[in-house]
Amino acid sequence: MKILAWPIIFLFLFGGFWATKLLLSSDTQPDTTNLLTAEVVSVIDGDTVILVLNGQETTVRLIGIDAPESVHPQMPIQCYGREASAYLHGLLPEGTVVTVEKDIEPRDRYDRLLLYIYKENGLFVNEDLVVNGYATASSYPPNTTKQQVFASALKQAKGASVGLWGSCDGPDQPLP
């Protein structure tokens, strides 16, 4: 019986390692079954853009993140809000062609389309905003496919005190 147990344990551990490796490496890659191409019309703030998608302009909220407010009509400008907006403007200038990926729920309560955005060079924009401290990870069930990616990016940003983590007491802080 001992002889049979070792191969099973080995296969479980080895197979589990490679399955985990495969899952982790594919988290930041888009799910090719849910992909569309779009063009950037404008950036509204640090987590909202307007895209032309299927020939129509639509407002898009980036899934899984929350950038400090910079243009909300009923809220003050928050610490690092202007910087987050400027950074996203730099990442996604007008005319930029992007690949977008949907998750489970297509729209939020403001009727904005909810998407993950990737640049042509493969940069995962949602994750980039978090890892560089321009946004925090924020879970909005049921759209949680990339939640672990954002949690890891947030840990890295906080650990390095980058962006809002080095300049503010965290997200949702009004300007001093």
112 is catalytic: yes
Catalytic member of 69, 83, 101, 127? 69
| CA dist., res. 108 & res. 94, Å (int) | 24
61 is catalytic: yes
69 is catalytic: yes
Pairing assessment for the beta strands 113-119 and 56-62 based on DSSP bridges: parallel
Catalytic member of 57, 61, 83, 120? 61
Catalytic member of 83, 101, 112, 127? 112
Question: CA torsion angle for 25, 66, 161, 93 (degrees, to 10)?
Answer: 80
Check whether the bond before 76 is cis (ω within 30° of 0): no
Cβ neighbours of 114 (radius 10 Å): 18
**Catalytic (active-site) positions:** 61, 69, 112
